[in-house]
Amino acid sequence: MAQYFEPSTDTNANFANSVSGQTNSFFLPSVYSKKVLNFFRKASVAEAITNTDYAGEISAFGDSVKIIKEPTISVSDYTRGSDTTATKLTDQELTLVVDSAKAFKFIVDDIESNMSHVNWKEVASSSAAYALRDSYDAAVIAKMFAGLSASSPDHIIGSDSSTADATMTHATNSVDLLGSDGTGVDALDMMARMSRLLDEQNVPEEGRWFLAGPEFYEELAKSGSKMLSVDYNAGQGSIRNGLVSSGKLRGFDMYKSNNIAATSNATGKVLAGHMSSTATANTILSTEVLRDPSSFGDIVRGLHVYGCKVLREEAMVGGFYVID
pLDDT (tens digit, 9 = 90+) per residue, 120-162?
Answer: 666 777 788 888 889 999 999 999 999 999 999 999 999 999 9
| pLDDT for the residue 4 | 34
Give the integer Cα–Cα distance in Å for 271 and 220.
15
Pick the range with the lowest mean pLDDT from 74-83, 102-111, 253-262, 278-287.
74-83
Crossing angle for the helix pair 214-222 and 187-200, nearest 10 degrees? Answer: 110
Domain limits, the chain: 29-72+90-144+279-309, 148-277+313-323
- CATH for 29-72+90-144+279-309 is 3.30.2400
What is the per-residue pLDDT across 165-178, written as a single tens digit (0 to 9) for each? 999 999 889 999 98
Over residues 85-98, mean pLDDT: 80
Over residues 214-231, mean pLDDT: 67
Bridge partners for 93 per DSSP: 68
| pLDDT for the residue 43 | 76
**Burial readout 192-214 (b: 16 or more C-beta within 10 A, e: otherwise):** ebbbebbeebebeeeebbbbbbe
* Architecture of domain 148-277+313-323 in this structure: 2-Layer Sandwich (3.30)
Give the integer Cα–Cα distance in Å for 93 and 71.
11
Whether the full predicted model's pTM is greater than 0.85, yes or no, is no
Return the closest-CA partner of residue 104 out of 131, 84, 123, 78: 131
* pLDDT confidence tier of residue 11, bands split at 50, 70 and 90: very low
Over residues 211-215, mean pLDDT: 95
User: How confident is the prediction for the chain on average, in pLDDT?
Assistant: 80
Crossing angle for the helix pair 29-43 and 120-146, nearest 10 degrees? Answer: 50
| pLDDT for the residue 306 | 94
